[in-house]
Amino acid sequence: MQPPRRLEDTHIDQYMRARFDELGIPWVQTRRNAATARSGQLRGDIWVSRTTHDSPNFEAQIVALIECKDRSCQLGDRDWLDAIRQGREKATRQGLHSFFVTNTDGLTRCYNAITGAEITLDGRVIADFASVPVLIAVQAQVNAENNAVRVRSFAQVVPDANRFRSALWNLRQVFRSRGMGRGSEEAIIKTTLTFCILHILSERQRLHPVLPSTVLLWSDWRRGQIDRDVRNTIDDVVEVAMFQHLRGSLEVDGRLNADAVARIVDELGQFNLYGSDFDFFGIVYETYASRNIKKDFGEFYTPRHIVRFMVRNLFFLETSPRPIRICDLACGTGGFLVEAFLYLQETYRRGGSLTDDVSRRLKNSTFVGLDTNGQHAIPYARTNMMMAGDGGAHVRATADSLTEDLSDQFDYIIANVPYGQYAGAADISSFAYTNKRRYELLFLEKIVTSLLPGGKAAVIVPDGLVQNTSNDSYRLRFLFDVTVEAVVSLPSFSFLPYTGEKTYILFFTKKMPRDRGRLQEQPIWHYIVDHDGFQAGSKRFPINQDDLTSLEDGQFGRLLIDGKAKLVPIDEVCEANFFSLSSETYLRRKEVVEMSEVQFEQLLVFGERFLESAFDHA
C-alpha cells in the first residue's frame, strides 16, 4: 500500500523534478517518501542514489537525503528545525554524513548529519542542490571536524551520453588537424580512452586516494608543457601495482602536440566520468571505429538499464554466499561483470553474510571475463572491475572464445553474444547445433557447453536465432539441452544509436545429463517489452514508460497480460511453429486472411490504381 499523498508532494513534483532535470539527475535515481533497510520505519522524503530506483544496489549507492517542507516554511521555523532533527536521524541511520532541507520554493540548506552545522561548498553556504559527483564529494569530505567541502576542480557538467558523444565529434577536428584521419581509428580510440581513464583516476583520487601524491593529475598539468606532463603521468600510473595492467594501453599518439592535447583536455574536462551511468568506452568505440570494423566484429554495447534487468533476474535467488563462478565470454568493457559483482555484494551485505572470507572469494575467484579486444576492452574491463572492488585478475584477452576449453565450468553465464559471419579458427564440425559459420549460433552453443549441469544463463541474442525458419533444427537441438524459463523481447530501438537490430533475452538452465535429448515439460514465459524507459529513436531520452523496471525480481511466470506476458505451453513450441522462440509468434500472432484468386487479383488492381493516383498527385 502506498503512503498517503501529502501537500508537499505536489510541490516536489513541480519543483524538484525540474531542478533535478537541470542538474542532470534522472528522476529514476530517486525514491520518494520511502524507508530503507537502515532507516527502519523512518521515511525519507527523497533519497538520491548513483543507480536507478529498481536496482538492488540503490540503497548502497545512496549519496543524498532531502527533507522537503511546505513552501511557507522558512529558516528557523519550527517545521524547519523539525526537518533538521529528522534529517540527522535518518541520514545517520543510512550512514550519510550530510542531508538537505528545502521548502521546494528556492530555500535550501545542506547540514552535517553528525554536528547539525551548515555545510559550505568552496567557501559558500550550500543553498541549492548539486550534481551527483558533487554529492559524492560532500559525502566523502564531511565528518565530525569538517563542514567545508572543496570541489572547485571538479567539472560542473553532469555526465550525459549525448553531450559526451557530441564532444567526441568535436575532437575529430583536433585529430584531423594533426593528420589523424581515415586509417588512424585505432590510434584515435586508444588516445581518447587514455584521456578518459586518466580523468577517472584524477576524479577518484580526490575522493579515494590510491596514487602517490607525486603523480601529476588532470588539474596539475601545466599548459605550456601539457603533452609532456600527460605522458609523464602515464609513466607514473603504470608503475603503480594496481594499474600495471594498463601498461601498453595508456598512450597518447605522438602526432599530438601541446596545443592539441590541451584542446582534448578542455573538451573532456567538461565531464565527470567517475560514477557516470553510461558506457563511455562503448561510445568512444562506436564514434570512432570505422564501418568495416563494426561490420566485421558485429559489436555493440549493452545499455546499463538492460544489464541491470538481466542481473537482478538471473541472480535474485543467490541470497546466501556459496562458491560460484560467473562468466561473460564476450565481456567487452565488463558491464555485466561489474553489475553482477555489485548486486551480489549488496545482497550479501543486506543479509548480514558479507564476511571477510565471502568478500575475498567474491573479489578473487568468482568472476571470469574473456574478450578478443585485448587492446582496448580488456584493460578497461579490468579497470572497471577494479573501481567496483574486484581486482579483475580473471578478466583476460583471448584469441577466440570459441576455441577455449571451457566445458562444464561455470554456474552462471551472462552475455550479449557477438553476431555476424564467423571467420575464426574453431572447428565447426565439433559443434552439434549447426554447421553454419554464424557467430551468434556458435556462441550460444558455446555458452551451453561452458555451463555446469544445472547452471543458468541470461543471454542477449539477435532475432534471426529465435525465429528464422532456417534455424528450426538449431533451436530444437538447443531445447534438447536446456530448459528455457523465459524469453524477453526487447524493442528494436534498445541498442540505438549503435544498431537497430531486434534482440531477445533468453533465460535458461542447462539440463542434467539424464534430462537431455527431449523437450522440457514446463511452459516458457514470454514477455514483450514495448517501452524500456527511453524514447524510441537515436536520441534515447528518458521517459516514464518502462516495462523493465516495473517487472519485479523473480516475477517470471507470474505476470500474465494479454498480448504482453504469457506462459506458452511447450507443445506450442513445435515443428509447425518451426520451434520458434519469438515472443511475438505466440503473443501477437498475425492472423492469416484467406481469399479467393479473384479477390486477390482485385486487391492487386486496387493497389496499382492507388499507386498510380499517388504518383499523379506527387
SS3 content of the chain, % helix, strand, coil (to 5): 40, 15, 40
Asked whether residue 434 falls in the same domain as residue 530, the answer is yes
Could you write out the DSSP letters of every residue in 251-290? Answer: ---TT--HHHHHHHHHHHTTB--TT-SS-HHHHHHHHHS-
pLDDT > 90: percent of the chain? 50
Q: Is the pLDDT of residue 265 over 80?
A: yes
pLDDT for residue 389: 66
For the CA atoms of 377, 378, 379, 381, the dihedral, rounded to the nearest 10 degrees, stands at 80
Asked whether residue 497 falls in the same domain as residue 556, the answer is yes
How far apart are alpha carbons 323 and 346 in whole angstroms?
Answer: 17
Asked whether residue 125 falls in the same domain as residue 169, the answer is no
Helix boundaries (H) for 95-184: 132-141, 161-177
Residues 108 and 1: beta-carbon distance below 8 Å: no
List CB contacts of 587: < 8 A, sequence separation 6 or more.
526, 528, 563, 564, 565, 566
Q: Is the pLDDT of residue 154 over 50?
A: no
Q: Is the pLDDT of residue 464 over 60?
A: yes
Residue 444 domain-assigned (yes or no):
yes
Q: Is the pLDDT of residue 158 over 50?
A: no
The pLDDT of 168-175, averaged and rounded, is 91
Asked whether residue 558 falls in the same domain as residue 504, the answer is yes
* List of E strands, 556-603: 565-568
Range of the domain at 371: 298-303+323-341+355-587
How far apart are alpha carbons 409 and 511 in whole angstroms?
Answer: 14
Element counts in the chain: helices (H) and strands (E):
19, 19
Residues 565 and 551: beta-carbon distance below 8 Å: no
Residue 318 domain-assigned (yes or no):
no
pLDDT band, residue 7 (cuts 50/70/90): very low
List CB contacts of 530: < 8 A, sequence separation 6 or more.
491, 545, 547, 564
Please identify, among 149, 169, 195, the residue that sits at the C-terminal boundary of a domain. 149
| Amino acid code (one letter) for 575 | E
Q: How far is CA 227 from CA 195, 295, 317, in A?
A: 12, 34, 51
Please identify, among 109, 124, 149, the residue that sits at the C-terminal boundary of a domain. 149
Q: What is the pTM of this model?
A: 0.66
Closest CA to 97 of 151, 46, 137: 137
The pLDDT of 535-550, averaged and rounded, is 75
| Amino acid code (one letter) for 136 | I
Q: Is the pLDDT of residue 532 over 90?
A: no
How far apart are alpha carbons 314 and 402 in whole angstroms?
Answer: 23
pLDDT for residue 426: 93
Residue 314 domain-assigned (yes or no):
no
Asked whether residue 520 falls in the same domain as residue 407, the answer is yes
Residues 298 and 539: beta-carbon distance below 8 Å: no
pLDDT for residue 28: 87
Q: Is 402 exposed, middle or buried (0-12, 13-18, 19+ CB in 10 A)?
A: buried
Can you give the C-alpha Rg of the chain in angstroms? Answer: 27
Residue 156 domain-assigned (yes or no):
no
Q: Is the pLDDT of residue 384 over 80?
A: no
Q: Over 447-485, what HEC string results?
A: HHHHEEEEEEEEEEEEHHHHHCHHHHHHHHHHHHHEEEE
pLDDT for residue 284: 83
In this structure, the number of other CB atoms found within 10 A of the CB of residue 332 comes to 28
Closest CA to 455 of 396, 392, 407: 407
Highest-scoring range by mean pLDDT, 296-300, 390-394, 513-517: 513-517
Q: Is the pLDDT of residue 498 over 90?
A: no
Backbone angles phi, psi at 144, to 5 degrees: -65, -25
Residue 238 domain-assigned (yes or no):
yes
Could you write out the DSSP letters of every residue in 68-113? Answer: E--TT--TTSHHHHHHHHHHHHHHHHHT-SEEEEE-SSS-EEEEET
Closest CA to 235 of 256, 212, 251: 251
Q: Over 437-450, what HEC string results?
A: CEHHHHHHHHHHHH
Asked whether residue 144 falls in the same domain as residue 165, the answer is no
Asked whether residue 281 falls in the same domain as residue 397, the answer is no
Backbone angles phi, psi at 110, to 5 degrees: -120, 135
Instruction: Specify the length of the chain in residues.
Output: 618
The region, left, alpha or beta by phi > 0 then psi within -120 to 50, assigned to residue 200 is alpha
pLDDT for residue 305: 83
pLDDT for residue 2: 44
What confidence tens digit (pLDDT) does each residue in 584-606 have? 999 987 766 677 787 777 788 77
> What's the chain's average pLDDT?
86
Asked whether residue 50 falls in the same domain as residue 184, the answer is no
Closest CA to 581 of 418, 464, 451: 464
Q: Is the pLDDT of residue 60 over 80?
A: yes
Least confident of 105-109, 399-403, 459-463, 476-480: 105-109
Question: CATH no. for residue 473?
Answer: 3.40.50.150
Q: Is the pLDDT of residue 541 over 80?
A: no
pLDDT for residue 446: 98
Residue 364 domain-assigned (yes or no):
yes
pLDDT: which is higher, 593 or 582: 582
Asked whether residue 506 falls in the same domain as residue 449, the answer is yes
Q: How far is CA 539 from CA 443, 496, 543, in A?
A: 31, 8, 12
Least confident of 292-301, 344-353, 519-528, 561-570: 292-301
Nearest-5° angle of CA 282, CA 288, CA 291? 100
Asked whether residue 119 falls in the same domain as residue 60, the answer is yes
Question: CATH no. for residue 92?
Answer: 3.90.1570
Please identify, among 94, 118, 149, the residue that sits at the C-terminal boundary of a domain. 149
Residues 577 and 524: beta-carbon distance below 8 Å: no
Asked whether residue 516 falls in the same domain as residue 421, the answer is yes
What confidence tens digit (pLDDT) does each residue in 307-363 have? 989 999 999 999 999 999 999 999 988 889 988 998 898 889 888 898 989 988 998
Closest CA to 42 of 90, 111, 82: 90
Q: Over 503-528, what HEC string results?
A: EEEEEEEECCHHHCCCCCCCCEEEEE
Residues 538 and 496: beta-carbon distance below 8 Å: yes
The pLDDT of 417-437, averaged and rounded, is 93
pLDDT band, residue 279 (cuts 50/70/90): low
| Sheet containing strand 44-49, strands side by side | 30-34, 44-49, 62-68, 98-102, 108-112
Residue 316 domain-assigned (yes or no):
no
What confidence tens digit (pLDDT) does each residue in 111-128 have? 999 999 999 887 778 888
Highest-scoring range by mean pLDDT, 72-81, 243-252, 501-510: 501-510
Asked whether residue 223 falls in the same domain as residue 273, the answer is yes
Number of domains in the chain: 3
How far apart are alpha carbons 39 and 296 in whole angstroms?
Answer: 52
Residue 551 domain-assigned (yes or no):
yes
